[in-house]
Amino acid sequence: MLKILLSRVREYKKYAFITPLFMIGEVAMEVLIPTMMGLIIDVGVANSDMDYVIRMSILLVIAAMLSLSFGVLGAWSASKASSGFATNIRRDEYARIMGFSFADVDKFSTPSLITRMTTDVQNVQMSFQMMIRIFVRAPIMFVFAIIMVYHNGGSLSAVFAVAIPVVIVAIAFIFGRSHGYFSSAFKGYDIFNRVVQENLNGIRTVKAYVREDEQLGKFEESAEVIRDNFKKGQTMMALLNPVMMSITFACMIAISYIGAKLINIGHMETGELLSIYTYTGQILSSLVMVGMVIVMFSISWASMIRIAEVLSTEPSMSLNEDGIKDVKDGSVVFENVSFGYGKDKKVLSDINLEIKSGEMIGVIGMTGSGKTSLVSLIARLYDVQSGSVKVGGMDVRDYDLEALRNQVSVVLQKNTLFSGTVEENLKWGNADATDAEIRWACDCASVTPFISAMKDGFQSHVDQGGTNFSGGQRQRLCIARALLKKPKILIMDDSTSAVDTATDSSIRRALREDVRDLTKIIISQRLSSVMDADKIVMMNGGRIEDVGTHSELLSRNAEYRSLYETQTRGGGLDA
């Protein structure tokens, strides 16, 4: 998994590799500086050797300058490397997701994909930067400081042989224990956010039923989980500082005592002892830093797994770029088709259906009867489990996927407009559409009346999701967009549900008269939308129950008849 992620560093590898080098440089200077400081006092000041003091001071300034340069360069390369890494992950994930089939998207779910591309990437970037900066820096600091202590103090380093294991055990204990509490607290955050979110979305319901107190109760419960776990985790973490202080002071005392003895017998200088005090701090704090990085890393572990899952998912449907490019006509044939979203649950079975090019077909049936699944197979949004779907006489799997989808235009049930202008949205259908073509499509889909009433016409702004247009207007725009593709087959999945009946029938009239050779497949809850179709397909429980014209079905199918009666009796003002 780490390999999948790390291979994304790519062109930023050089930055990722030089960062540790700069860190080594910086650390070397940081470790050298206390020794030089010690020498200045011991040799220079103690002997009143001003020349020495000046010489060493110049060296010290140079060292500080080097340390600064290394530090700045390290900061520069680390931020390049980590930002570049994140950028590459984002790009690869995006490209991978764009290649996903509908089935792959279903498997991950949209909100989860969004998290995997946003929060997860940020987490991984953070811990990557920590890794190349601190995870390299701290151990090097540790090693250098140990060497210097040994060099300056010799046997004094024995003190650390005792102290270091103690520190490691203490850190492991404290971080290990608090980590559990913190992850419970973060889970508590999810519930906390959910309660607030649900309350905001349902505030009218809450107020209408006067349920403010119950909501507050739920909220307090979730806030308590956060408070209690944070308290436990932080109380555990509160041990860290005192424990580290104790160990540091114990080391200092031991070093002072042994140091005094060594100095007494002339094995050590006072300046050396002074510099060892500094190294003691460096050794112990580098251990704490390593502990912190490990905690960070383990927090972002879950994010890494989620990203790697996306990157390693092979799209379940290939684009088949070598496939047939030319769709002969708009005929559709289903041969013994069965289909399901999972392995064990069949959504469609034994489907046999023939649609001639240029026909208008209506599809009706209850929710869950398989209408949407049926038409999804035509544009090969999903693959059949058995049998075959043929468009223009060829199996859909033999086509180049893009060529097929360019000829089979689907107006989805859950349709979306994108932020931008009306024209930009329409041009999704055909980027090179001329003004005349756009006008034609808009006339067909009854878009022209409301667009021409808008101040900016086709340049009017569309909010994200098209929320500044009414449901009916959105649906009509989506139909126009699909028509601009100039497809051979047009599928409308409940695409006029929010359009009034008069407009609905005028759209159908336009489709029938203006684009005669276009195969039109219309799913609807409204019988009036399919009554004048050449054939009406009745779906029930994943099977085709009956196929026929309105008058045929009316005379022979009791279910159809009763549907017809309830709908003409009930009807609707706008639905």
Partner 1 sequence: MPRPQQGGTPAKNPVKAMKSVLSLVFGERKRAFAFIVLCIIIVSFSTVYYSNFLGVFIDDYVTAIIGVEDPDFSPIVRALMQFAAIVSISVIFSYVLQRLMVKISQDTLYDVRVRMFRKLESLPIAYFDRNPHGTIMSRFSNDTDTLNQLISNSLVQMLQAAITLVMLIAAMLVNSLVLSAVVAAFVLITVKATGSISKRSSRQFSKQQATLAAVNGYIEEMMNGQRVIKVFCHEEKSKEDFEKLNMALFDSMSKANMLANVMGPVTMNLGNLQYVALVIIGAVYVMLTGGGVAGYTIGALAAFLQLSRSFSNNVNQMSQQMNTVLLALAGAERIFELLDEKSETDDGYVTLVNVREGADGTLEETSEHTKHWAWKHPHHDGSPVTYTPLRGDIVMIDVDFGYTEGKTVLHDISLYAKPGQKIAFVGSTGAGKTTITNLLNRFYDIQDGKIRFDGININKIKKDDLRHSLGMILQDTNLFTGTIRENIRFGRLDATDEEVENAAKLANAHDFIMMMPDGYDTVITNNGESLSQGQRQLLSIARAAVADPPVLVMDEATSSIDTHTEALVQDGMDKLMENRTVFVIAHRLSTVRNSNAIMVLDHGRIIERGDHEQLLAQKGVYYRLYTGAVELD
Please state the closest distance from residue 505 (CB atom) to partner 1, in A.
Answer: 8
Query: How far does CA 452 lie from the centroid of its chain?
Result: 39
Query: Phi, psi at residue 9, to the nearest 5°?
Result: -70, -35
The nearer residue to partner 1, 54 or 147, going by C-beta atoms, is 54
The nearer residue to partner 1, 50 or 386, going by C-beta atoms, is 50
Please state the closest distance from residue 257 (CB atom) to partner 1, in A.
Answer: 6
Report the candidate in 394, 338, 390, 351 with the shortest Cα–Cα distance to residue 537.
Answer: 351
The nearer residue to partner 1, 263 or 394, going by C-beta atoms, is 263
Altogether, the residues listed in the chain come to a count of: 575
> DSSP assignment of 264-320, as one string?
HTTSS-HHHHHHHHHHHHHHHHHHHHHHHHHHHHHHHHHHHHHHHHHHTPPPSS---
Residue 474 has a CB neighbour count (10 Å cut-off) of 22
Burial 245-257 (b: 16+ CB within 10 A, else e): eebbeebbebbee
Please state the closest distance from residue 357 (CB atom) to partner 1, in A.
Answer: 21
| C-alpha span between 130 and 142 (Å, rounded) | 17
The nearer residue to partner 1, 2 or 242, going by C-beta atoms, is 242
| C-alpha span between 172 and 166 (Å, rounded) | 10
Structure tokens at 236: 């555990």
Please state the closest distance from residue 381 (CB atom) to partner 1, in A.
Answer: 7
255, 276 contact by CB (below 8 A): yes
Query: Phi, psi at residue 244, to the nearest 5°?
Result: -65, -40
Residue written as token pair 């209690």: 228
Alpha-carbon Rg for the chain in angstroms: 36
The nearer residue to partner 1, 335 or 424, going by C-beta atoms, is 424
* Burial tier of 345 (Cβ tally within 10 Å: 0-12, 13-18, 19+): exposed
The nearer residue to partner 1, 313 or 335, going by C-beta atoms, is 313
Please state the closest distance from residue 165 (CB atom) to partner 1, in A.
Answer: 20
Please state the closest distance from residue 336 (CB atom) to partner 1, in A.
Answer: 26
Structure tokens at 537: 């397909």
Please state the closest distance from residue 356 (CB atom) to partner 1, in A.
Answer: 23
Please state the closest distance from residue 450 (CB atom) to partner 1, in A.
Answer: 9
| C-alpha span between 521 and 295 (Å, rounded) | 57
The nearer residue to partner 1, 335 or 528, going by C-beta atoms, is 528
The nearer residue to partner 1, 173 or 418, going by C-beta atoms, is 418
The nearer residue to partner 1, 283 or 296, going by C-beta atoms, is 296
CA atoms lying within 13 Å on the CB side of residue 296:
18
Please state the closest distance from residue 537 (CB atom) to partner 1, in A.
Answer: 15
Please state the closest distance from residue 277 (CB atom) to partner 1, in A.
Answer: 6
> 80 to each of 14, 132, 154, 300, how far by Cα in Å?
10, 12, 41, 20
The nearer residue to partner 1, 66 or 335, going by C-beta atoms, is 66
